[in-house]
Structure 1
Amino acid sequence: MFSLENPVTPVAPARDELVPSRYALKVGDIDVLVVSDGVLPLPTQMLGHNVPQSERAPWFEQMYLPQDAFDWALNVMVVRSGDRAILIDAGLGMDPDLQLPRAGQLIRRLGASGIDLAEITDVVITHMHMDHIGGLLVDGVKAQLRPDLQIHIAAAEVAFWKSPDFTRTNMPPGFPDALRATATHFWAEYSSYVRTFEDEHEVAPGVVVRRTGGHTPGHSVVRLASGGQALTFAGDAVFAVGFDQPNWHNGFEHDPDASARVRIALLQALAGTGELLVATHLPFPSVGRVSVEGDAFRWVPVFWDF
């Protein structure tokens, strides 16, 4: 079983990699490692395509972000609970057609963390967008995985990708076709490993995956709870702008109105409990809490524990 405190046979980091790419913490007795899969440059319109540029511009200015495009973080988690080692989402992998060289770093960074793919007992897929499943499609990865690996995905998600509907999304050119192709490839490779659930499933002690819908019909979040502590991995339910503007529509949301409802309910719940939040596209390591500020929310990053 891997150890978050004492990585074995680490792979040397790239000489040009001058920023941290993993962050370890504990939730009660559960070990958690947040791993960066890199960054994904996308147009700023993707964070609020239902409002005009004149409304989006002040937010980006206040956040000291460029007005045209910026880098979305890609975060993945590895969790150890009991005798289970669980990978939550699998990053982008490598898609040369989209020319995204700074993403798809997960497999290399797992190796640098001393995590052997053969130790992973379970994979939870929050949804089947390519930046959450693509790492499993990198050449040579499948051969390193356990034959008894279980991949947990909501049944509604599997059904959706048999004939996906993109009519309410607002994506850059090329992305819908890439998403379809990646989901089809993933299913062809891993359908025999998939274990579906309807609404909620306990993967390991204190590790529960729950379908929320919204972003995609089977989009799910994962809640860790142990020793009076808790952390929710929110997948794509929450984006950086979603605290200040939870009703802005993200271009990758297949049902934007439902996504906003899911986002607001989740942020309200987390603000009420003070539990930790990690999300795929919040700035690495994305570990923080939620507070309420008037009619909006506020993300409160944790102080790093060294």
Structure 2
Amino acid sequence: MPALTLGRKASQENNSHDERTRLDEPVPSRYELKVGDIDVLVISDGVLTLPGEMLGHNVAPDVRAACLDEMFLPPDYFEWALNVVLVRSGSQTILIDAGLGSDPNLNLPKAGRTIERLEAAGIDLASVTDVVLTHLHMDHIGGLLVAGIKERLRPHLRIHLAAAEAEFWESPDFSHTSMPAGFPDALRSAARRFLHEYRGNLHPFENEYDVAPGVMVQRTGGHTPGHSVVRLASKGNRLTFAGDAVFQVGFEHPGWFNGFEHDPEEAARVRVKLLRELAANREPLVATHLSFPSVCHVAVDGDAFRWVPGPWEY
């Protein structure tokens, strides 16, 4: 897919467009890598500014503040990175999650950039054959709800989602979450609207499904009942897109609860199991809410883990 050879053919063919993009954005917003024969493009949808307590609402405020201070972060808020991934395997082009889009009832001006950044990368939305959704939170589906986007997608676009996720959002339970006011209603509204607009495109699976050669989606549960991760494998190389199973302090403090987790105790078990596996097999990791481009390795550090950023591939 020529559009994924950014900085090569695509930029040569569209220099003026790329030049404008570089002038408008002082930092990179897309990052390419290869997993064997699979092309991978990580795209920043932007960041969400959220209360600091959402990084660990089950621990004392002073403990959480000390941790954030050690990370050179303020104690009262943090910028929650938001990444999506585009994958090409064989003849299929697969979008993994779709970013925030826009919600007029929430003040989140720094996110919702997925569609414009796909376009800046030379990606034609009509070329996308499949979408994989790790779950139905609005920061993973909102890009597909932006006005005019559905009409630009293939009529028979295949959207892969765990059956348990679609079922959960028919009557979601927020009793174990810890979100700012307005978020539960916005999440509920976005999920219901998505299921209404795209139900005819859904290809639900139970526990795992092979989307394309070397691209498998696997339900983990925890964060939401149908939360899933995507495993890539080609020519002995591997990479996992972990969705929301791993977040910024989840390496050193895997038992801390993320405020968006609908079953935080199960989410912590899922997180530990996944991090142990990735540390053991030395498989690279990309996750939605790790600092862009988020490509990293996992190391065991006593009873916890350590985030080891991957080297930048030039």
Once the two structures are TM-superposed, the CA of residue 2 in structure 1 deviates from its matched residue by 4.5
| Residues 291 and 297, structure 1, Cα contact 8 Å, conserved in 2 | yes
- 1:282 counterpart = 2:290: yes
Any gaps of 5 or more consecutive residues in structure 1? none
Q: State which of 56, 60, 67 in structure 1 corresponds to 2:64.
A: 56
Q: State which of 156, 160, 180 in structure 2 corresponds to 1:152.
A: 160
Any gaps of 5 or more consecutive residues in structure 2? none
Q: State which of 73, 95, 109 in structure 2 corresponds to 1:101.
A: 109
- Alignment of structure 1 residues 232-271 onto 2, 5 Å: 232-271=240-279
| Residues 44 and 70, structure 1, Cα contact 8 Å, conserved in 2 | yes
In the alignment, which residue of structure 2 is the partner of 1:68?
76
**CA shift in 2, pair 1:2/1:120, >3 Å:** farther
- In 1: Cα distance, 2:107 partner to 2:171 partner: 26
Residue by residue over 1:45-82, the C-alpha shift from the partner in whole angstroms, topping out at 9 and shown as x without a partner, is: 00100011011111101100001001110000000001
Once the two structures are TM-superposed, the CA of residue 239 in structure 1 deviates from its matched residue by 0.3
- Alignment of structure 1 residues 112-261 onto 2, 5 Å: 112-261=120-269
In the alignment, which residue of structure 2 is the partner of 1:24?
32
TM-score by length of 2: 0.96
- In 2: Cα distance, 1:3 partner to 1:268 partner: 35
RMSD: 1.0
Runs of 4+ in 1 over 4 A off after TM superposition: 8-11
The aligned amino acid for 1:89 is D
The aligned amino acid for 2:122 is G
- Alignment of structure 1 residues 283-298 onto 2, 5 Å: 283-298=291-306
Once the two structures are TM-superposed, the CA of residue 3 in structure 1 deviates from its matched residue by 3.1
- 1:4 counterpart = 2:12: no
Once the two structures are TM-superposed, the CA of residue 14 in structure 1 deviates from its matched residue by 6.8
Q: State which of 41, 44, 52 in structure 2 corresponds to 1:33.
A: 41
- 1:84 counterpart = 2:92: yes
- 1:45 counterpart = 2:53: yes
TM-score by length of 1: 0.98
* Seq. identity, %: 64
| Residues 212 and 218, structure 1, Cα contact 8 Å, conserved in 2 | yes
**CA shift in 2, pair 1:112/1:16, >3 Å:** closer
